[in-house]
Chain A
Amino acid sequence: MSICTTTATTQVDLTKVKPYGDALNDGKVQLAFTLPVPYGEEAEECAKQYAKKLGLNEPNVAYYCELTKGYTFFNVYGSAQATIDYTQIVVPKVEGEVLDRVECGEWIGENIGRDIVVVGASIESDAHTVGIDAIIQMKGFHGHFGLERFKNVVAYNMGSQVPCEALIAKAKEVNADAILVSQTVTQKDIHIMNLTKMAELMEAEGLRDKVILTCGGPRISHELAQELGYDAGFGPGKYAEHVMSFIMQEVQKRGWEKKVNIADR
């Protein structure tokens, strides 16, 4: 093996991927963590050994300090050894094409021929409206207008702390095509409990196949949503157009163009 190579290694082996620092396969990762041990040289050594156990070679404790008595904070760099076969990765994604706001409105007009009705809320204990507002409220979020600004869409925003029962009752009252459930608080997995309750109630009410059930929030992925029995899930970086693109194509797929009333579906 030559000591000096004149070219960079540029060919990534996608079957054995590891982190990139400034050279391929150097495995560089940075960690920030706290150990419940008193500040001192033993703490530094403890962090190094811990990083090794995590699979990092040559751990370097770049910085450490006392947070409070008995707790030490670390910034650690190291070279990760584990690799992943990128070619075998499968991520479930929301199907269908994503159209923008104006295109969605036109598409619904042409393909559905009636307004699409959605009802949304942040359910149960969750007092945060930021998620549901981002999707439904006229002004939307980050330059992406909300569903209230879409043509051929009627959207009801029930706000926060809405009991599942009330959300379902509203969906029945207005013959919603879809329900949007938002969950922002995730401490102790409360969002899972709330979302599960909603899915179970929909099932119990016999509505599971009659209304499209979607959820969204900062810690929600499409995969998680599907595991919980939802038709789709929308996480960070998804806006009103993503949600409506899915819903309108699903309405068409299910042949609900003329089925305005839930009872007919």
Chain B
Amino acid sequence: MKSKLNLDPKVVSSARQHAANIAHDMQEFIDRHTTVSTERTIVRLLGVDGVDEVDNPLPNVLVDHLKESGALPTGAAYLIGNAIVQTGKTPQEIAEEVAAGKLDLTKLPTCPQAEAAEALKPSIKATFERIDAQKAKRKEYLETIGEGPEPYIYVIVATGNIYEDVIQAQAAARQGADIIAVIRTTAQSLLDYVPYGPTTEGFGGTYATQENFRIMRKALDEVGEEVGRYIRLCNYSSGMCMPEIAAMGALERLDVMLNDAIYGILFRDINMQRTLVDQYMSRVIIGYCGIIFNSGEDNYLTTDDAIEAAHTVTASQFINEQFAVLANIAEEQMGLGHAFEMDPNTEDGFLMELAQAQMAREIFPKARLKYMPPTKFMTGNIFKGHLQDALFNLATVWTHQSLLLTGMLTEAIHTPLMQDRYLAIENAKYIFNNCRHIGDEMEFKQDGICQKRAQEVLAKADALLAEVEKEGLFSTIEKGIFGGVKRPFDGGHGLEGVCTKGENYFNPFIELFKDHK
């Protein structure tokens, strides 16, 4: 396909090669390490669930037990496998006995690694049967009731109460939403455990729990059948429990998950070693399960300037793409993020937004690009805000974006009311329908504002990636190049949960999840 922006394919491949080198470089580090959250994910995937008598999730109880005994480098897979061999109990029973203080996994006689791996196979098989059944169910829905056309209309619910969320989500689906994201309660990203059970109290959002996922999944399947469209469910595989939530999403058939290799480091001050190791485990799961991941480049523009820092978004998209390649994620599942966040008072600002969005589409032709609406320059003037969202919707349909985070006229005032969502969807549908083929009809002027802008941003992204490759990703982040935020190698939350893999360590899930077309 010819580039409408006259982008030089050599620059695109150069940038992509730099990003691939950066990701490979990091992968060596990732492969040598594990984390408490990665181990808890293994424990969950072996079938352990539930809480102890003081509401500590059993995967935490078990992994904390390993950590305190200094056995984290050996890993949960070997120690549970060994415990099965030695006791004949199931992983769930083993976790319960550890919680009751009746069993110390590090004091048992030890079997060879191969024997421990063999002992895990029935539990692993059961998990994959469950995940495969969910994949088949999604496929069946898509083949029978089908789905809405792209751009998918993506709206959020955020009441704090999962049962209230269900009402709002079903209403939104009836109004035309294709994807429902349940916003998490503020601060959940920094909890080093995943809460358990259905929840009805949250601030600015609702706890991500496996039970809440199940409740919402059921509600969306019901309303999907009613409206004759599969409604996708989105949540957050991010923060301190990134891979655990991916596993829960796999089990409960989430379709979209926020998941970024760098976001947590920059915006939640999570330690960079921790996040990079965790993102790998989460992404192999996401890849296998057919989940679309959404990366968080849009956030750079809330802390940095959307005009000056546009190339950091593009550079980060390349990096997120290459990390995804290493986790064997299909291009169609790469929801690379960007945003419409330029100051609305900028002359020809719309042209620059259009150039950026079109460029992302041309560089990542098959990706499910996630396009975020204006937030930073939304003022509380709902009338102007509705117009800002309209221009955003126009850029979306024009440049064939895939996932439209639907802009709310009341952004900067409150979490969306039911009527806000209606007005936002009406706005988007009006423009999508009225301008459906605008992108196929319109071309960009040779060497005009849009072409030049896109070429300039791409060139800067390529230069930045060359610099990051030379410098290494860790030290780039230490210098504050992404989002203008600096994070130290040994700083931030969760570093104490990172360790190098020891003798006997194995993670049976990585290869199994990566084994798909």
Contact = CB atoms under 8 A, between A and B. Distances in A.
Interface in A98-129: 124-127, 129
A139 B309 CA distance: 12
Contacts of A139: 304-305, 484
A29 interface: no
Interface string B183-197: 000110110000000
Contact of A185 (B170, B190, B204, B302): B204
Nearest to B172: A68
A124 B186 CA distance: 10
B268 interface: yes
A126 B170 contact: no
B98 interface: no
Interface stretch (B42-50, B60-68, B411-419): B411-419
Contact of B419 (A32, A127, A188): A32
A130 B485 CA distance: 12
A159 interface: yes
A29 B376 CA distance: 29
Nearest to A158: B269
Interface in B331-387: 343, 376-377, 379-380
B418 A67 contact: yes
A188 B170 contact: no
Interface string B171-203: 100110000000000110110000000000001
A159 B380 CA distance: 24
B160 interface: yes
Contacts of B186: 125-127, 185, 190
Interface in B263-316: 267-269, 302-305
A137 interface: yes
Contacts of A33: 419
B171 A71 contact: yes
Q: Which of B170, B186, B189 counts the most chain A CB atoms within 10 A? A: B186
Given A68-B174, A73-B422, A187 B415 contact: yes
B418 A218 contact: no
A34 B204 CA distance: 21
A133 interface: yes
B87 to A, nearest CB: 41
Contacts, number: 74
A212 B98 CA distance: 51
A187 B160 contact: yes
A186 B203 CA distance: 8
Nearest to A188: B203
B187 A67 contact: no
Nearest to A74: B419
Nearest to B223: A68
A68 B269 contact: no
Contacts of A188: 160, 203
B248 to A, nearest CB: 21
Contacts of A71: 171, 418
A125 B484 contact: no
Contacts of B376: 130
B48 to A, nearest CB: 29
Contact of A161 (B170, B187, B204): B187
Nearest to B343: A142
Contact of B380 (A67, A185, A190, A236): A236
Contacts of A69: 174
Interface string A49-79: 0000000000000000101110101000000
A36 B2 CA distance: 52
B171 A34 contact: no
A61 to B, nearest CB: 14
Contacts of A161: 187, 190, 268-269
Contacts of A68: 170-171, 174-175, 418
Nearest to B268: A127
Contacts of B175: 67-68
Nearest to A237: B379
Contacts of A73: 418-419, 422
B310 to A, nearest CB: 15
Nearest to B303: A133
Contacts of B414: 186-187
A33 B158 CA distance: 19
A185 B203 contact: yes
Contacts of A34: 417-419
A187 to B, nearest CB: 5
A188 B174 CA distance: 27
Interface string B406-426: 000000111101110010000
A67 B302 CA distance: 31
Interface of B: 158, 160, 170-171, 174-175, 186-187, 189-190, 203-204, 267-269, 302-305, 343, 376-377, 379-380, 412-415, 417-419, 422, 484
Which 7 A/B pairs are nearest by Cβ-Cβ distance?
A: A68-B171, A125-B187, A185-B204, A190-B203, A34-B419, A73-B419, A125-B186
Given A34-B418, A137-B303, A139-B484, 12 more contacts: A65-B422, A67-B422, A68-B170, A126-B186, A127-B267, A129-B267, A129-B303, A130-B302, A139-B305, A159-B269, A187-B415, A218-B413
11 contacts: A33-B419, A125-B186, A127-B267, A137-B303, A161-B187, A185-B204, A187-B160, A188-B203, A190-B204, A218-B412, A236-B380
